[in-house]
A and B are shown apart, each in its own frame.
Chain A
């Protein structure tokens, strides 16, 4: 199946731990993103990579570090987890078309992170 897949789907961890979320897309898209959806369901961009290069880095604590080993993968590592990090994290990908338009913006199914 062509898709954006994230692992794990659920992550429950204690405060202070370090955890990683992985994302892979097999759509051939050039750009990948991490979005955070808070308890009020508001989706906000965190990071964006284009062909392994960081192009968007919103105001996110340094404890969050994305890594893109290749254009099909974008991982998110979080150090020293805090209660406020509890949210659903979505990976997404997109592709610019030859005429400058866009298509894609396909989302994964999310990783529900709970920090206790």
Chain B
């Protein structure tokens, strides 16, 4: 069993809908939680970074962390076709440690 599980999708939504993504993890040692966006043939781009349980909002993006359930989410409001990409959750146990990635969810926002 992988340390971080993420539904591969694809997740197809109409433009303007809310995109809901999530990851589950098994190791409570993870302390830092990130979401990356990766366009085809590009490097991962950091979208959101959270440390504690709770919500964090940045524009159209909201990240949620529930450490008790070992569950993290990313919501994208008012989705646009340009949001079509693969979204990867990434977890870290401590500063300077490696990122442990989920397998990524492919999202397609249709105009």
Contact = CB atoms under 8 A, between A and B. Distances in A.
Contacts, number: 67
Given A50-B96, A55-B96, A101 B51 contact: yes
Contacts of B100: 45
A107 B43 contact: yes
Contacts of A75: none
A41 B86 contact: yes
A41 B104 contact: yes
Contacts of B92: 102, 105
Nearest to B88: A43
Contacts of A100: 95
Interface string B26-45: 00000010101010011111
A9 to B, nearest CB: 9
A70 interface: no
B30 to A, nearest CB: 12
Given A107-B43, A108-B43, A42 B103 contact: yes
B17 interface: no
A43 B45 CA distance: 13
A18 to B, nearest CB: 25
Contact of B98 (A48, A109, A112): A48
Given A90-B44, A103-B49, A43 B101 contact: yes
Which of B41, B97, B99 neighbours the largest number of chain A CB atoms within 10 Å of its CB?
A: B99
Interface in B48-105: 49, 51, 86, 88, 90, 92, 95-101, 103-104
Contacts of B88: 43
Contacts of B101: 42-44
A102 B30 CA distance: 13
Interface of B: 32, 34, 36, 38, 41-46, 49, 51, 86, 88, 90, 92, 95-101, 103-104
